[in-house]
């Protein structure tokens, strides 16, 4: 990451987003760290990064299920240093949603938290990114193409994010490149989405014989931002080869 570049990372207070922000910061970027509820974690991360390099990180709180909040987030992040060079749409809502259990509110929370947030944040950031000849990386999921039973709303939202990546790559070219990383199974969520038996079965089916980490995803994001100048509209699977295995 080139020095003095500003990267806005959504959902960056914890887990994958925090690893992405930390990795990009270590490569020289100033990072705008978005959070929704995890304000204390975001502020702690900002303090750690600013201890390394003064005024190189700042936290921004926003509920990206509302388009207007995404617009305000982008404006505030851009005003911080007068630029936005890259956007990483990592904010996500991941829940098990067996068919028959989903009401309109639950559907909206999952689709809005994954797809709507990325669309309106990207739309608001587009003028900044065009001016900087920057890039967008969306964090989708390998299960957008190979969904798990019981996660239909999440799979639909992430599949929409894949389509959005390709559509924006066309619409924002040639000034802005738009790509996505598609992680497979990563460090298991803190809430009990999967049983222990399901976790063991998922891990056993990964050719590289381990689940991924936030650092694996962060390195892929950095590659697409910094080292892939002739790549746009691409979905990079970061799944240990799991998408190669037939079920």
Catalytic site positions: 154
The pair of three-digit structure tokens given for residue 169, joined into one six-digit string: 């790559």
Query: Is 213 in contact with 12 (CB distance < 8 Å)?
Result: no
Query: Is 24 in contact with 7 (CB distance < 8 Å)?
Result: yes
* Strand spans (E) along 81-223: 86-89, 135-139, 177-183
Judged by DSSP in three states, 210 sits in coil
| CA separation for the pair 16, 12 (Å, rounded) | 7
Task: Name the strand (E) or helix (H) holding 203.
Answer: helix 196-204
DSSP 8-state symbol, 172: H
Task: Name the strand (E) or helix (H) holding 222.
Answer: helix 214-226
* Alpha-carbon distances of 169 from 5, 159, 212, rounded to whole Å: 21, 16, 27
DSSP 8-state symbol, 187: S
């Amino acid at each position: 990451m080139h020095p003095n570049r500003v990267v806005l990372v959504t959902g960056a207070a914890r887990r994958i987003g925090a690893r992405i922000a930390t990795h990009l910061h270590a490569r020289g970027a100033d990072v705008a760290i978005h959070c929704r509820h995890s304000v204390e974690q975001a502020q702690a991360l900002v303090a750690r990064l600013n201890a390394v390099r003064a005024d190189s990180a700042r936290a921004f709180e926003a509920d990206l299920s509302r388009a207007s909040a995404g617009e305000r987030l982008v404006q505030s992040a851009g005003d911080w240093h007068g630029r936005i060079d890259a956007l990483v749409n990592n904010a996500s809502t991941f829940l098990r949603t067996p068919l028959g259990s989903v009401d309109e509110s639950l559907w909206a929370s999952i689709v809005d938290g994954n797809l709507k947030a990325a669309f309106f944040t990207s739309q608001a950031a587009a003028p900044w990114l065009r001016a900087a000849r920057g890039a967008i990386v969306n964090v989708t999921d390998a299960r957008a193409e190979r969904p798990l039973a019981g996660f239909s709303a999440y799979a639909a939202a992430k599949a929409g994010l894949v389509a959005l990546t390709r559509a924006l790559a066309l619409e924002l070219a040639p000034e802005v490149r738009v790509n996505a990383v598609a992680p497979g199974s990563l460090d298991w969520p803190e809430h009990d989405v999967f049983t222990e038996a399901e976790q063991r079965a998922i891990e056993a089916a990964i050719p590289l014989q381990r689940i991924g980490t936030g650092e694996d995803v962060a390195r892929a994001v950095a590659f697409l931002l910094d080292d892939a100048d002739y790549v746009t509209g691409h979905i990079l699977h970061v799944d240990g080869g799991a998408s190669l295995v037939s079920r």
